[in-house]
């Protein structure tokens, strides 16, 4: 399931996604100009029902951090299965959305003092926030052509999709507390 563009704070598609995750579906949210809070604060996912299921807190203002020099990514949980055995040394990324981790979540990778890859469990399922983009322009050719790129982007949704056998049967939403 993919949701793109700006969100309506009353629910709509983002409410359906939040219910899906609460009832056993996985969620991977990827950064970009209109992701998390985004350019000029237009994306507003922090004001949507997705705020309950994301493993991060979304800032209330334009959250983009862009650089042409490249950002070094530090893998801080190299054994985490979400990384798919990728190396701790990643090619540089050019931009990301600034995010804050929710209590109990795992920061698998970061750039300087900011988050890059965060995992969390919500109800019966899992959610992931990747603060940069998986494609150009925030992800330069060195990243998308990286030999470990396929393993990383196979492992991220696979980790989020792991379900308990009765997750859909319970029909209950979870919480981060």
Say which CATH topology domain 12-160 has.
Rossmann fold (3.40.50)
Q: Which residues contact 93 (CB under 8 A, 6 or more apart)?
A: 70, 71, 73, 111, 116, 132, 138, 139, 140, 143
**Predicted local confidence at residue 18, as pLDDT:** 87
Provide φ and ψ at 174, rounded to 5°.
-105, -165
- At residue 101, the pLDDT reads 96
Cβ atoms of 26 and 67 closer than 8 Å: no
CB 7 within 8 A of CB 49: no
* HEC sequence for the chain: CCCCCCCCCCCHHHHHHHHHHHCCCCEEEECCCCCCCCHHHCCCHHHCHHHHCCCEEECCCCCEEEEEEEECCEECCCCCHHHCCCCCECCCEEEEECEEECCCCEEEEEECCEEEEEEEEECCEEEEEECCCCCCCCCCHHHHCCCCHHHHHHHHHHHHHCCCCCHHHHCCCCCCC
Given a cut of 50, whether residue 148 has pLDDT beyond it is yes
Better-predicted residue by pLDDT, 77 or 165:
77
Domain ranges of the chain: 12-160
Q: pLDDT tens-digit profile of 87-109?
A: 889 999 999 999 999 999 999 99
Give the model's pLDDT for residue 11.
Answer: 57
User: Which of 39-48, 92-101, 164-173 comes out lowest in average pLDDT?
Assistant: 164-173
Predicted confidence band of residue 1 (pLDDT cuts 50, 70, 90): very low
Q: What is the mean pLDDT of residues 155-169?
A: 66
pLDDT classification of 10: cutoffs 50, 70, 90: low
Q: What is the pLDDT of residues 114-128, one digit of tens each?
A: 999 999 987 678 999
Q: Max alpha carbon distance in the chain (Å)?
A: 49
| 143/160 Cα distance (integer angstroms) | 22
Report whether pLDDT(4) > 50: no
Length of the chain measured in residues: 177
Average pLDDT in the chain: 85
What's the CA gap between 101 and 104, in Å, rounded? 8
């Amino acid at each position: 399931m993919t949701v793109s563009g700006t969100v309506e704070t009353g629910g709509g598609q983002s409410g359906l996604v939040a219910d899906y995750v609460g009832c056993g579906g996985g969620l991977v949210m990827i950064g970009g100009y209109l992701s998390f809070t985004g350019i000029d604060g237009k994306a507003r996912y922090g004001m949507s029902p997705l705020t309950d299921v994301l493993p991060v807190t979304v800032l209330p203002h334009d959250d983009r951090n862009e650089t042409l020099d490249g950002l070094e990514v530090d893998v801080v949980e190299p054994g985490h299965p979400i990384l798919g055995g990728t190396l701790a040394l990643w090619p540089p990324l050019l931009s990301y959305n600034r995010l804050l981790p929710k209590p109990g979540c795992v920061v698998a990778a970061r750039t300087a003092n900011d988050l890059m890859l965060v995992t969390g469990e919500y109800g019966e399922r899992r959610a992931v926030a990747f603060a940069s983009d998986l494609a150009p322009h925030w992800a330069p050719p060195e990243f998308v052509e990286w030999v470990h790129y396929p393993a990383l982007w196979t492992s991220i949704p696979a980790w989020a999709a792991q379900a308990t056998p009765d997750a859909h049967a319970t029909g209950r939403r979870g919480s981060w507390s």
